[in-house]
Amino acid sequence: MKPCSIAILGSTGSIGLNALKVVDQHPQRFRVKALSAYNNFQLLESQIKNYKPAHVAVGPQGLAHFKSTGMKGVKFYPIENCAQIASLKEVDTVVLAMRGTSALMPFLEALRAGKTVAPANKEALVIAGDLIMSEARRHKARIIPIDSEQSAIFQCLDGQKLKPVLVHLTASGGPLREVRSKDFKRMRPKDILRHPRWKMGPKITVDSATLMNKGFEVIEAKHLFNLEYNQIKVLVHPEAIIHSMVEFTDGSLLAQLGITDMRLPIQYALTYPERLPTGLKRLDLTQLGSLNFEEPDLKRFPCLGLAFEAARRAGTLPAVLNAADEEVVEKFLHGKIDFLSIYKVVEKVVLRHKIIKNPSLQDILQADHWARQEARNILEKLCH
């Protein structure tokens, strides 16, 4: 079998590192053709030595470094030209593991070039889901999500002839599930960055504390599986063993279960429709004993309600939600605002936005820019 040629955009982050571990597990199956990383060029350098990609995109510091040291057989690109390596002729599958809205252009270009895209990035689908899905249809390009919940839904629906009536998106509940509401105000970044189930970057861990992350996943699922926002239910499931479920009209539920290790959904996306051994420990249900479920508490976690509202009203609103959240969480992580202000500021920006229906890419980027400016204005007053 011809090996699958992959590009990993964001190769030094936690998803990128796990994707490379999947490659290590099946070295005959994969060829790493391209890598990209924004900041951590020392780690990127060791990845280049190990995996020998022919194309590498890197941030300005790294670019200067590699230009001066030089590396044989590697073509370097500035990070802004990441879309170029996502659409290279010799690449079959693009792992989209970079953070933020910078993933949008590489996502679109990869689809236009007919690549299979395995997105772990949320922002692109949240802000421009309609555009992405229509490009995928137009170019018959496949999207196989890596996010554990979206991968679970994808797996439950694979081979199904009928659409589900409901999708149950599971949520671990985040690091504040058992914290009393009256203590929320006192929560500092360090209190939140200890997530009980998943090890992730700081921004997404804060988003999982506010449940905004789950809200983004609602918007993502709506696009990926062509659902109405009211066909998606969030179900808090602290053990995070069921990664999501689909429900059909007869009331049957299909669920996907597994250990909480991102290598599972990453490998599935990279070997689909095949399944291969992972070398990981297997799920032992008798050890687990029981699984628990509860409704999400929208009073304690109003960001989730806000995201549902953005999913319902659509247009440019999800882009505004995403941009405002990014600005505000950044301030929280730097200790400039308290935890409760995250929702307050994001809500203010969302309420002030005049939605553009069926937005173009330009409209979306403008809404993103507007929301960041608006959030900064509000934050400035708040921080002084």
Q: How far is the CB of 30 from Mg ion (least distance, A)?
A: 24
Return the number of the residue (64 or 283) whose C-beta is nearest Mg ion: 283
Nearer to Mg ion, 109 or 220 (CB): 220
Task: Report in angstroms how near the CB of residue 153 gets to Mg ion at its nearest.
Answer: 11
Going by C-alpha positions, the residue among 129, 122, 120 that lies closest to residue 96 is 120
Using CA atoms, how far apart are residues 197 and 64, in angstroms rounded to an integer? 38
**Of 224, 216, 269, 223, nearest in space to 100 by CA:** 216
Q: Which of residues 352-381 bind Mg ion (CB under 5 A)?
A: none
Which of 218, 213, 177 lies closest to 194, judged by CA?
177
Sheet with 232-236, strands from edge to edge, namely 232-236, 166-171, 242-247, 253-257
Of 224, 29, 68, nearest to 137 by C-alpha is: 224
Among positions 268-297, residues that touch Mg ion (CB under 5 A) are none
Which one, 109 or 147, has the nearer CB to Mg ion?
147
- Asked if residue 220 binds Mg ion (CB under 5 A), the reply is no
Report in angstroms how near the CB of residue 77 gets to Mg ion at its nearest. Answer: 30
Decide: 243 and 258 in contact? Cβ < 8 Å.
yes
Name the residue nearer to Mg ion (CB basis): 237 or 331.
237
* Strands 166-171 vs 93-96: parallel, antiparallel or unpaired: unpaired
Residue 145-184 contact track with Mg ion, rule CB under 5 A, x = bound? --x-x-----------------------------------
Least separation in angstroms between residue 147's CB and Mg ion is 5
> At its nearest, how many Å lie between Mg ion and the CB of residue 8?
19
Minimum distance, C-beta of residue 144 to Mg ion, in the bound complex (Å): 15
In angstroms, rounded to a whole number, what is the distance separating the alpha carbons of residues 203 and 308? 20
- Closer Cβ to Mg ion, 135 or 149, answer by number: 149
Smallest distance, Å, CB 217 to Mg ion? 6
Count of residues touching Mg ion (by CB under 5 A): 2
Query: Which residue number, 87 or 322, has a Cβ lying nearer to Mg ion?
Result: 322
Nearer to Mg ion, 66 or 216 (CB): 216
CB nearer Mg ion, residue 222 or residue 331 = 222
In DSSP terms, 34 is beta-bridged to 7, 55
**Range 130-149, binding Mg ion (CB under 5 A):** 147, 149
Nearest distance in Å: CB 203, Mg ion: 13
Cis status, amide bond into 273, omega within 30 of 0: yes
Answer left, alpha or beta for residue 275, where phi above 0 means left and psi between -120 and 50 means alpha.
beta
**Residue nearer to Mg ion on the CB measure, 170 or 341:** 170
Amino acid in position 98? M
**Shortest distance (Å) from residue 202 CB to Mg ion:** 15
Q: What is the contact surface with Mg ion in residues (CB under 5 A)?
A: 147, 149
